[in-house]
């Protein structure tokens, strides 16, 4: 009889261990899926960085906003930009896009770009005043890209309509 109990116990142990093995596999799969989801989420939040060359003489390091959420967020909440830094907004189609300065903490210049050339320039957009409605800003002509740089940049670098603008990613 003792052998019978041992054999029965051995069978139960095998069943339990195979169930335990199944649970372990399921747990590993769930953990791997969670890691993949986290990596994907982090990669989507990592800004695309590159450079904009204006007239082959001026270089601006840019963060690219090419998705709708990135364009909506823009520079909102940032404390400042370095003198050679900006944000490049890339659109799928040309239009007269309207921008506002929601949650901006510093004034900027906006360089409106169409087909790789400066199409319009808006300088010294002010920081919004608390409690007031946010004004919107738009180019005078349709554009397909926008470069936001620190206020005074356009004047300091002598930006003019028609100057070439090229984006180079890293």
Pair (40, 73) in one structural domain: no
Q: State residue 76's pLDDT score.
A: 85
Q: State residue 17's pLDDT score.
A: 57
Pair (42, 103) in one structural domain: no
Pair (93, 74) in one structural domain: yes
Q: State which residues of the chain have pLDDT below 70.
A: 1-23, 26, 31, 34-47, 170
Pair (2, 67) in one structural domain: no
Q: State residue 86's pLDDT score.
A: 96
Q: Are 112 and 121 in contact (CB under 8 A)?
A: yes
Pair (35, 101) in one structural domain: no
Its domain, for residue 135, covers 48-169
Pair (106, 163) in one structural domain: yes
Q: State residue 37's pLDDT score.
A: 59
Which CATH number goes with the domain that contains 111? 2.60.120.1140
Q: State residue 64's pLDDT score.
A: 92
Count: domains in the chain: 2
Pair (83, 137) in one structural domain: yes
Q: Are 107 and 148 in contact (CB under 8 A)?
A: no
Pair (38, 52) in one structural domain: no
Q: State residue 72's pLDDT score.
A: 84
């Amino acid at each position: 009889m003792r052998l019978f109990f041992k054999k029965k116990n051995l069978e139960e142990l095998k069943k339990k261990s195979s169930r335990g093995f199944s649970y372990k596999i399921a747990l590993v799969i769930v953990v791997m899926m969670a890691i993949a989801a986290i990596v994907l989420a982090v990669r989507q939040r990592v800004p695309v960085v590159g450079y904009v060359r204006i007239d082959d003489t001026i270089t601006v390091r840019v963060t690219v906003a090419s998705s709708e959420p990135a364009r909506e967020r823009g520079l909102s909440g940032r404390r400042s930009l370095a003198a050679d830094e900006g944000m490049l907004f890339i659109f799928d189609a040309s239009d007269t896009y309207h921008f506002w300065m929601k949650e901006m903490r510093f004034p900027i210049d906006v360089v409106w770009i169409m087909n790789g050339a400066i199409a319009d320039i808006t300088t010294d957009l002010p920081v919004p005043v608390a409690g007031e409605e946010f004004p919107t800003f738009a180019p005078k002509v349709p554009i397909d890209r926008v470069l936001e740089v620190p206020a005074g940049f356009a004047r300091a670098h002598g930006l003019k309509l028609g100057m070439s603008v090229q984006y180079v990613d890293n």
